[in-house]
Amino acid sequence: MKLQRKILFVSLFFVLSLFGCSTKDTEVIVNESKIDLLSNDYAGWAISYSGYRQGDDPRSKIFPTKEEVLEDLKILEKNWKIIRTYGADQHLIDVLGVIKNENINLKVLLGIWMDGEPKYVEDNINQIKLGIELANKYKDIVIAINVGNESQVFWSDHKVPQEKLIAYIKEVQSKTTVPVTTADTWDYWANLAESQKVIDAVDFVATHIYPVWGKIDIDKAMEFTEHIYDSLKSVIPNKKIIITEAGWPTYTEGDLHVPKAGDEVKQNIYFNQLMKWSKENNVIVFNFASFDESWKGTGTEGHWGLFSENRKAKLVMKNLYPELTSDEPTSPDYK
């Protein structure tokens, strides 16, 4: 996995121009034969999970222990029904094994990481092979597969040629029995000139929506999220759309968001608004993320968790997890 997201601010004018694109004037036929496996029962109960703690680093293949994974999953199963993972590697092997062997009540949207090509072709092939193997081994746990994460949007630092990504998606579809997609940003999906072939290939659309990266503060965050989702539905009417990442950080650095956008109070507000909307509208939303991850750096990227890296509940989780509260700060202070 790469350390940085090269986020480019997109103006609201550009947002509206994208959604002004006309849609195909044809009868909408939705293929539900595989999508039923992504039941709306998961709306309001989905979360992204990576278990990397201080000293761990997927780039160096330093993974959490099985004991640490078990601790994490016991925390998550208390309040969620499904987790999203990111790479087909030892961490995923341990996650699925722990869920199976310890009877953890969680389903999995299995992630297959795609790194930039042509440099990482062999790595990508190995990810595909292991992802297929694990999806078939744990059919009672894996209910969908995601091939590639933000590998198509123009600013991606791990771009995969579109035709190669589609080939990988079709290979996974042909060798598994669950719905298959790729996850990318909402602005990529909205740009049909770029995304239509991928839309045609996937079983459902997996989008990321982050108000904070659009310099939207908390007072307009949920309005922005709803607008983007509804607009995506209007331009992609023939596919189920799931939000595979949405969340609010508790500490931010840089000028890609409003000053001091990251905040535990704001995270609490957005999380509760988002989950309420998810349940009321039957939209599956994977909250990003479970735990802070220091391997991503000390800035914004490392502080999206609902829990700190040492597994203490931030403000948003204190009522649900009183046993995990701490008198110590769970997010950095602004200087």
DSSP line for 152-165: SSTT-SS---HHHH
**d(C-alpha 252, C-alpha 235), whole Å:** 32
Say what the pLDDT of residue 38 is: 65
What one-character DSSP code corresponds to residue 335? -
11-40 pLDDT, tens digit each: 444 454 555 543 433 333 334 444 444 667
Instruction: Calculate the alpha carbon distances from 214 to 35, 221, 233, 257 in Å.
Output: 30, 10, 20, 7
Mean pLDDT, residues 5-10? 44
135-172 pLDDT, tens digit each: 999 999 999 999 999 999 999 999 999 999 999 999 99
Model-level pTM?
Answer: 0.91
CA-atom Rg of the chain in angstroms: 19
Say what the pLDDT of residue 53 is: 98
Query: With b meaning 16 or more CB within 10 Å and e meaning fewer, what string describes 172-186?
Result: bbeebebbbbbbbbb
**d(C-alpha 103, C-alpha 217), whole Å:** 40
**d(C-alpha 151, C-alpha 232), whole Å:** 19
How sure is the predictor about 106, in pLDDT bands with cuts at 50, 70 and 90? very high
Domain ranges of the chain: 12-23+38-324
Look over the chain and give the mean of its residue pLDDT values, rounded to a whole number.
91
Instruction: Calculate the alpha carbon distances from 52 to 66, 139, 227, 244, 296 in Å.
Output: 12, 25, 33, 19, 10
- Class for the domain spanning 12-23+38-324: alpha beta
Tokens standing for residue 257:
């968001």
> Helix or strand or coil: residue 202?
coil
35-60 pLDDT, tens digit each: 444 667 899 999 999 999 999 999 99
Contact (CB, 8 A) for 125 and 114: no
Which residue is listed with tokens 């890296």?
A: 309
Strand partners, 291: 307
Nearest of 325, 251, 302 to residue 53 by alpha carbon: 302
